[in-house]
Amino acid sequence: MVLCQGGEAAALPAAGGKEPEAPLSQEDGAGTGQPCLCPAPGVEAAGAEERRVCGCCSGACWPRCCGAPGTKKKAACPGLGLFYTVLSAFLFSVASLFLKKIEDVHSVEVSAFRCVFQMAFVLPGLIYYKTGFLGPKGKRIFLFFRGFLGSSAMILLYYAFQVMPLADATVITFSSPVFTSLLAWIFLKEKYSVWDFLFTLFAITGVVLIARPPFLFGSNVTGIEGSYTDHLKGTIAAVTSTVSAASTFVILRKVGKSVHYFLSIWYYAVIGLIGCVVALFVMNEWRLPYCGKDRVFLILIGLLGLGGQIFLTKALQIEKAGPVAIMKTMDVVFAFILQILFLNHLPTWWTVGGALCVVASSSGTAIRKWRQSLKKAKQNEI
């Protein structure tokens, strides 16, 4: 008997700061993640019939088995993963636009509704996969911090969307890959090169161009929403959200594939919901929107955020992480377009310059990691 590996797993990133792991689907050449036994050519089990069947190929007989020499896998639709990425970026951007349109609803309350939608989606998965609700004993502390930091990133990002221009907040969040490399170097002892340092400087420059602190740009700051104090608070919230999201990626790298991605999202939703409810009662901000339109927006934010996460997950199942990370810069493009069309707010040249710096740094980081993974894969083949 020959042992045929029936499945692989792909690392996935999430809304509001998450990076789950999911098995590839049968359609993509992966099974349940469990090995299956395929009879080798010329070998017959005692009492077996002439026709040999492989369990990892949906009952196909051996000459057409996935493990047969010269057998070609069914090719996936070219560009489908990148299309999913663009669709995910569009859904996330529209959800952010609806968040800007909501009136008199605190960002913490919006985050609470988002957590409820996440829990409703994940709960059937936990029951189906029988993962339990707490996870392995040795991993629970990591799951707790993953949930705490991920939900904090979501709340802070929603606050930033409410008090500063949509494009500005979106651009700042794209510095997350740069901070991930820095934190992975500090806590996981991963390699941090001169290129990573340059990308970090580019990202910081982009954030400074967007924040435009008075001691560098003077007190007359144009192109912001409301007062400069709110703009500065939003910038700090967006940067803190980005660092928190980067921290969750580092934690997920530490945990690896030993924890099901549904369980990771479960911690994110439960801890986020508890934190939001406590914060709302302390701030005395809990209230349903008065306008029926705002209630519809709340539901749409939850549905669009969930849809964006699903399509991003599908993209990473059938496409390499590097091209997906680069294509995800469409978030910034959609944010600029929606801000101009529906919010009547033209971005300043400072914002455009900051966007170019941040997108260049995040894309450079993604391309570099992608090339490293390809090089490592070729070395393993040799």
User: Does residue 121 carry a pLDDT above 70?
Assistant: yes
Q: Are 32 and 4 in contact (CB under 8 A)?
A: no
**pLDDT (average), residues 186-196:** 84
Q: Are 297 and 285 in contact (CB under 8 A)?
A: no
Q: Which residue has the higher pLDDT, 371 or 203?
A: 203
Residue 382 pLDDT: 67
> Greatest CA span in the chain, whole angstroms?
88
Residue 362 pLDDT: 83
pLDDT tens-place string over residues 263-273 = 888 888 899 99
For the chain, the residue count is 382
For 124, other C-beta atoms within 10 Å of its C-beta total 10
The amino acid sitting at 365 is T
Q: Minimum mean pLDDT among 9-13, 113-117, 131-135, 371-375: which range?
A: 9-13
The string over 300-335, giving b where at least 16 C-beta atoms fall within 10 Å of a residue's C-beta and e elsewhere, is: bbbebbbbbbebbbbbbbbbebbbbbbbbbbbbbbb
**pLDDT (average), residues 182-199:** 85
Q: Which residue has the higher pLDDT, 259 or 243?
A: 243
Q: Which residue has the higher pLDDT, 50 or 260?
A: 260
pLDDT tens-place string over residues 202-237 = 888 988 888 887 766 766 677 677 788 888 899 999
| Alpha helical stretches, state H, the chain | 80-101, 107-129, 140-163, 166-173, 176-187, 194-211, 214-217, 228-255, 261-283, 292-318, 321-327, 330-342, 349-381
User: Does residue 42 carry a pLDDT above 90?
Assistant: no
Q: What is the C-alpha to C-alpha distance for residues 218 and 273, in angstroms, rounded to an integer?
A: 41
Across the chain, mean pLDDT equals 76
Residue 47 in 3-state DSSP? coil
- Long-range contacts of residues 208-215, Cβ cutoff 8 Å, at least 24 apart: 208/354, 209/350, 209/351, 209/353, 209/354, 209/357, 210/168, 210/171, 210/172, 210/235, 210/350, 210/351, 210/354, 210/355, 211/235, 212/350
Residue 236 in 3-state DSSP? helix
User: Does residue 359 carry a pLDDT above 90?
Assistant: no
Residue 81 pLDDT: 82
pLDDT band at 175 (very low <50, low <70, confident <90, very high): confident
Structure tokens at 65: 């088995």
**pLDDT (average), residues 236-246:** 91
pLDDT band at 91 (very low <50, low <70, confident <90, very high): very high
pLDDT band at 62 (very low <50, low <70, confident <90, very high): very low
Residue 35 pLDDT: 43
Give first-to-last CA distance, the chain, whole Å.
26
Residue 126 pLDDT: 87
Residue 50 in 3-state DSSP? coil
Tell me the CB-side half-sphere exposure of residue 45, using CA atoms within 13 A: 10
**pLDDT (average), residues 35-43:** 42
Residue 322 pLDDT: 67
Of the ranges 15-29, 175-189, 230-244, which is most confident?
Answer: 230-244
pLDDT tens-place string over residues 253-310 = 777 767 777 788 888 889 999 989 888 888 877 777 766 788 888 889 888 988 888 8
Measure Cα distances from 108 to 103, 111, 155, 362, 369 in Å: 13, 5, 6, 28, 34
pLDDT band at 336 (very low <50, low <70, confident <90, very high): very high
Percent of the chain, pLDDT > 90?
A: 9
Residue 334 pLDDT: 92
Residue 203 in 3-state DSSP? helix
Q: What is the C-alpha to C-alpha distance for residues 130 and 113, in angstroms, rounded to an integer?
A: 26
